[in-house]
Structure 1
Amino acid sequence: MRFSVRNIVVVLLLFIGFLTFTGAFFIVNETKQAIVLQFGDPRKVITEPGLQFKIPFIQDAVFLDSRLLNIDPQPEEMILSDQKRIIVDSFARYRIVNPLKFFQTVRNEATFSDRFGRIINASVRGVIAQYSLTALLSEQRVSIMNEIQAQILGNEDSYGVEIIDIRIGRTDLTEQVSNNVYQRMRSEREKEANLLRAEGEELSKEIVASADRQQTVIVAEA
């Protein structure tokens, strides 16, 4: 069976029509929001789920998450005011509230996580450098966290996000500091043990001396 030129043209037109139709529509699901780009420039922001239209071959759609997202920067070694070194593991949760500003600033979630993660670590480092390890492990930790949050929240509008929560998940002593703390605790316990031992020996001597005196009195009276 041979195809005529007319049949070939019809098939090509149908194929082009199919591509045009499928390229003209896209779906935004409930967990996403979209930005329609025309030659790379934003033309429309879509925050509601559903079937949407764009001009085929001219416009494109990029999707951003509308759910609560996490930022988990790499743990960093930081120096406290008492010159002790600790490893801080912090994290934050955020939501994209201005998709256009977010896209224009960082383009995607991965770039934002990397950039804002550095901001989080820098803010944490700047604040806790003013405090000692004792303060960080005390009830003062709450006010320290509030100070860190205040610094970080000042950056959220620049990226079109809302920071929901910021926390220090874990603070670990470095190996050197851990060893120093262990040695100091061991030394203190040894001092306490020696003191108790000395007090015990003194009490033992007093008991023996008292028993000797009583024995002498009993023998004399006999």
Structure 2
Amino acid sequence: MRKTTFIVPALVIALVLVLSSIFVVDEREKALVLQFGQIKSVKEEPGLAFKIPFIQEVVKYDDRILSLDTDTIEVTPSDDRRLVVDAFARYRIADVVQFRQAVGVGGVRTAEDRLSGILNAQIREVLGADQVTSDVILSADRRQFSNRIRDNARSSALSLGLDVVDVRLKQTNLPSQNLEATFARMRAEREREAADEIARGNEAAQRVRALADRTVVETQSEADRDANVIRGEADAERNGIFAEAYGADPEFFAFYRSLQAYETALEGSNSSLVMTPDSEFFEYFKNQGTAGAN
């Protein structure tokens, strides 16, 4: 009975010691075995591993690709137009020993704070370089800047045991106080272009109207000229006929012309004609009786 009393606690203690000395490394993790804060071994392969119970401890770090969003900062390109920029990065812990020595017990949070400072410094340096204007940064072809920031940040992050996989610029906008001025300038440019187009349209319309007016005048002049020519030819032909008729029978011609004069003079219902009875105008009226007898 007394022997059983000692065996059970010993088995429990042994089981606790065995369980305390075993730990599992996941395939998504890397592990460091520390003894009094000093690194004793590195476990990068997944599976079971061992440590000295109560003396050694295990610290695990994520071996996957992690993401980091940087804080929004303002940069000033070479054309002195301030831009609001933020980015996101993809990184992983490449050297877990170097990582532990660089950040200590702060872990990933401390590493991300320091990596964010590195990225912001590189963003300012790359986007603020000579011959880098805000128009180029705001254009669609800005991948080159992201690659340059990534390469520069990668070399600086090696001291932290980190590998910067990728960097992308999320936002590259003008500050709010500059947006209104930029929109006003763009609006003024568009209004100026619209005014130029309207002026060119009015000028073209005036040219078309002037050409149309000249065409109308020329057409009317040609028509009047042709009409005058035709009228003159008709008058000449008419005078020729009259002359021929007069030469053939002068008396009939005089009679015909007198009838035309009567018709013209006595037109209308309220015409009044005052003449002496012996006027030559009524020559054929005076001879009516004689002409009837003949």
| TM-score range relative to shorter protein | 0.7 to 0.9
1:1-222 matches, within 5 Å, as 11-107=8-104, 108-130=107-129, 131-138=132-139, 141-221=142-222, 222=224
Residues in 2 aligned to 1:24 and 1:150: alpha-carbon distance in whole angstroms: 42
TM-score where L is the length of structure 1: 0.87
How far apart are residue 14 of structure 1 and its match?
3.9
Q: Is the 8 A contact 1:30 1:48 kept in 2?
A: yes
Contact preservation (8 Å) 1:73, 1:114:
no
Of structures 1 and 2, the one with the larger relative CO (CA 8 A, separation 6+) is 1
C-alpha contact 2:118 2:157 (8 A) present in aligned 1: no
Q: Is the 8 A contact 2:147 2:167 kept in 1?
A: no
What's the % identity of the aligned pairs?
37
The secondary structure found in structure 2 opposite 1:81 is coil
- Contact conserved, 2:68 with 2:89, CA < 8 A, in 1? yes
Aligned AA (1:126): E
Q: How far apart, CA to CA, are the structure 1 residues paired with 2:167 and 2:77?
A: 20
> In 2, Cα distance between the equivalents of 1:220 and 1:157?
93
- Is 83-92 or 191-200 further displaced after alignment? 83-92
Counterpart contact for 1:156–1:162, Cα < 8 Å? yes
Whether the 8 Å contact between 1:96 and 1:102 is mirrored in structure 2 is yes
Structure 1 unmatched ranges of 5 or more: none
Partner-residue secondary structure (3-state), 1:155? helix
Cα deviation digits, residues 93-125 of structure 1 (max 9, x gap): 222221111011114222211210111011111
Separation (CA, whole Å) in 2 of partners of 1:23 and 1:129: 54
Higher strand proportion, which one? 1
> In the aligned structure 2, how far is the partner of 1:179 from the partner of 1:5?
90
* SS of equivalent to 2:184: helix
How many residues were matched structurally?
A: 219
Query: Conserved in 1, the CA contact under 8 Å of 2:75 and 2:85?
Result: yes
TM-score with structure 2 setting the length: 0.67
| 1:146 positional shift | 4.1
Structure number with greater Rg is: 2
- How large is the Cα RMSD of the aligned pairs? 2.4
Distance of 1:170 and 1:7 partners within structure 2: 72
Cα distance, 1:170 vs. partner? 3.0
**Distance in 2 (alpha carbons) for counterparts of 1:212 and 1:18:** 113
Q: CA deviation at 1:23?
A: 0.8
Please give the per-residue CA displacement for 1:154-192, whole angstroms capped at 9, x wherever unaligned. Answer: 213211222222222332222223222221211111011
**AA aligned opposite 2:74:** E
More divergent stretch after superposition (207-216 vs 98-107) = 207-216
Aligned partners of 1:6 and 1:135: how far apart in 2? 85
Assess, with a 3 A threshold, how the Cα gap between structure 1 residues 24 and 187 changes in structure 2: closer, same or farther: same
Give the unaligned 5+ runs of structure 2: 225-294
For residues 103 and 57 of structure 1, the distance between their equivalents in structure 2, rounded to whole angstroms, comes to 21
What is the CA-CA distance between 1:11 and the residue it aligns to? 4.9
Distance, in Å, in 2 between the alignment partners of 1:183 and 1:195 is 18
